[in-house]
Structure 1
Amino acid sequence: MKTFAAISLFIFTGIFTALFFGFDLSEASESLEYDDEQEGLEDEIVIKFSHVVAENTPKGKAVRKFASLVQDWSNGDIKVEIYSNGTLYNDQNEYTALKDGHIQMIAPATSKLTERFPQWQVLDLPFAFPSYEAVKQAYQGEIGTTLLNTVEKDGIKGMTFWYNGYKQVTSNKQPLLVPADFNRTHFRIMPSPMIESQFQSLGASTSKLPFNKTYSNLEVNFINGQENTPSNIYSKKLFEEQAYMTISNHGYLGYVVLINGTFWKDLSKEHQTIVQEALNETTDWIWRHSIEMNDAHLRKIKRADSIDVHYLTNEQKESWKQTFEPVYEEAENTIGKRLMEEIYTIQEQY
């Protein structure tokens, strides 16, 4: 009993001491200090933007510019989180991730949509665009409008097209100057039936590999060659595993900016305007700078000792075009007469 009384006295003494000596009642009456860094975090809108190329490419820089504009124009209400180099999703699963709402925006190469939407193959036709202005007209005209509308059935909104440049071919076997040079070669291509048909007509076999797996497959000689723009060839160091490069300009590589449809609809009109205007300004920016970046990267590739750079002569280019004639003949069944007529009109104009 005495022990219980002693323990009770000890506890009572501790509480009494804490209340009157160790606890400042003035502090209890003050409100907690306001942390302005937490202001608005609950209301902040986050856009996860996933892409597969390096930061120092036309698309990589365009995404950063877009993110900066959105941040500034929304006064920090909208934040764009950038996941480059395929760190979040690769080019084979980013579309599904967008559709399922795991990310909010992507900007895949237009070729990546061709297996889901066959009409997009119109942009992969060989030698489809005689000039950069021809590409711009296709993106901003009837072709672009028609293609952007096709993705709506997947709950995705097509926002705009971004530019990169003309594709060139590389090889570790021999210079690729005439169609016969492609015999018994194995190329990495993007997942486009139109591109596959082109290389088959040249006598090459193909593998559809993710962009970020291209270097490693060149390194172990699983593939002999690949096609891409100078900016992508340089930034991913693909030229280090290739002995020959041909400036062929046989196709154009561009991107389409896509946003999850539900996410877009949930944005306020004000925020939709900010995102759209930021995209418009970025599209103008990449149009002006993509050509410069590809030219600069091509000059750097030429200075490398590991690769020889060749240019097609007019005669050689004509031999390529003749080889591709069956590709055009088959295209109308897939692409449709209307879009094919639009391509022919653009080709005649430029």
Structure 2
Amino acid sequence: MKKISLTLTTAALTLAAGTVSANCDPGEVVAKFSHVTGGTTHPKVVAANSLAERVNAEMNGKMCVEVYPNSTLFGDSKELEALLLGDVQLLAPSLSKFGSYTEKYGVFDLPFIFKDMDAAIRFTNSDNGKALLTEMDEYAGFVGLGYWMSGMKYFSANKTLNVPSDAEGLKFRVQTSDVAKQMISAMGASPQAMAFSEVYGALQTGVVDGQENTWSNIYTKKFFEVQESVTETNHQLLAYLFMTSSDFLKSLDKDTREQFMQIADEVTQAANLNVKAAEATNRANILKAGGTIIELTPAQRQEWVDTMKPVWKQFEKDIGKDLIDAAAGA
């Protein structure tokens, strides 16, 4: 039976009580893929659905991927535990989530470490980047299958941000990343860690004053609707670790594992090549929907860089100077 990946509609959510089936056949290895992103245009959604479509077509009879988007199976505070318990087999959390497992992934959070997304992709394809995929295997049983780029990050707030001092006294939602927290503190603002699914409500009610994210997240989650403007800082990379558990990989027979890993790598490379176009589209979508984007002058951008670059030194010992230098030079 040929199967397809599904993206949930509101009706489907109501009908299926938060689950979706790809109509897996008896005897197939079922891989449940849980992620927190909604909509149809976000790079993570596109990549996850592409993976499912290819596996379900090319590995029909051997393996089947079910996609559970928009936190319908597990939210981002529970998904890593679910992976270790075997309740889900595939995830794509932000790299910022792994600080309690390894400090080396903090290199991706350093502000202005990458000139642009092309530089980030070069780093992830380097020997240093590939070595990080198995950094947590021995300690936690997590194995990276690839890095899924989502784009560079931009600050939004309930007031205009032209220079870092404009953020003084504000509260910004961040992920559970020590690097991100120090970056916000360098602006004179207060970092507030919270789950992605809670961000819109927190912005809407004033629990936090601002956040940082990609064009795709800002648009698909409608953050721009509850913020005065978005500042085009281009300050940080948002990427996801497309991952599984070592137990799941070991459970696959050799041929199944090799075919799945090949498809996973091909989907990753294709997805990353398409991200820039998707980001440009969602930036335009924000403007079309009435959002405001602040473009920085060269002098203003340099002020952001000068304010945040000292954060590198704070984490040099934890991350490793060699790794930081490799990323900065990509």
State the shift of 1:132 in Å.
2.2
Q: What is the distance in 1 between the residues matched to 2:35 and 2:295?
A: 31
Q: Paired residue for 1:114?
A: 99
Q: Paired residue for 1:315?
A: 299
Q: Paired residue for 1:35?
A: none
3-state SS in 1 of match to 2:326? helix
Alignment pair present for 1:239 and 2:224: yes
Q: What is the distance in 2 between the residues matched to 1:178 and 1:320?
A: 6
Matches within 5 A, 1:200-211: 200-211=185-196
Unaligned residue ranges in structure 1 (runs of 5+): 1-39
State the shift of 1:291 in Å.
1.0
Q: Paired residue for 1:26?
A: none
Alignment pair present for 1:90 and 2:75: yes
RMSD: 1.4
Q: Paired residue for 2:153?
A: 167
State the shift of 1:304 in Å.
2.6
Alignment pair present for 1:141 and 2:119: no
Q: Give the AA of the match of 1:168.
A: Y
Matches within 5 A, 1:176-195: 176-195=161-180
Q: Paired residue for 1:285?
A: 270
Alignment pair present for 1:295 and 2:266: no
3-state SS in 1 of match to 2:147? strand
3-state SS in 1 of match to 2:87? coil
State the shift of 1:245 in Å.
0.8
Given that 1:115 and 1:193 are in contact with CA atoms closer than 8 Å, whether structure 2 keeps it comes out as no
Deviates more, 1:186-195 or 1:146-155: 146-155
Q: Percent identity?
A: 32
3-state SS in 2 of match to 1:216? helix
Alignment pair present for 1:212 and 2:197: yes
Q: Paired residue for 1:340?
A: 324
Could you tell me which of 222, 236, 259 is aligned with 2:207?
222
Q: Paired residue for 1:198?
A: 183
State the shift of 1:277 in Å.
1.6
Matches within 5 A, 1:259-274: 259-274=244-259
Deviates more, 1:52-61 or 1:139-148: 139-148
Q: Paired residue for 2:17?
A: none
State the shift of 1:340 in Å.
1.9
TM-score, normalised to structure 2, is: 0.89
- Which digits, 9 at most, give the CA deviation of each residue in 1:213-246, with x for residues without a partner? 1011111111111110011111111111111110
State the shift of 1:186 in Å.
0.6
Q: Give the AA of the match of 2:303.
A: S
Larger relative helix fraction: 1
Q: What is the distance in 1 between the residues matched to 2:329 and 2:156?
A: 31
Given that 2:114 and 2:328 are in contact with CA atoms closer than 8 Å, whether structure 1 keeps it comes out as no
Q: Paired residue for 2:19?
A: none
Alignment pair present for 1:78 and 2:87: no
3-state SS in 2 of match to 1:128? coil
Alignment pair present for 1:129 and 2:114: yes
TM-score, normalised to structure 1, is: 0.84
Unaligned residue ranges in structure 2 (runs of 5+): 1-23
Q: Which runs of 4+ in 1 moved over 3 A?
A: none
Given that 2:43 and 2:275 are in contact with CA atoms closer than 8 Å, whether structure 1 keeps it comes out as yes
Matches within 5 A, 1:151-166: 151-153=136-138, 154-166=140-152
Alignment pair present for 1:51 and 2:31: no
Structure number with greater Rg is: 1
- Which digits, 9 at most, give the CA deviation of each residue in 1:55-107, with x for residues without a partner? 42100111000001001111242111111111111112211111221111101
Q: What is the distance in 2 between the residues matched to 1:316 and 1:54?
A: 33
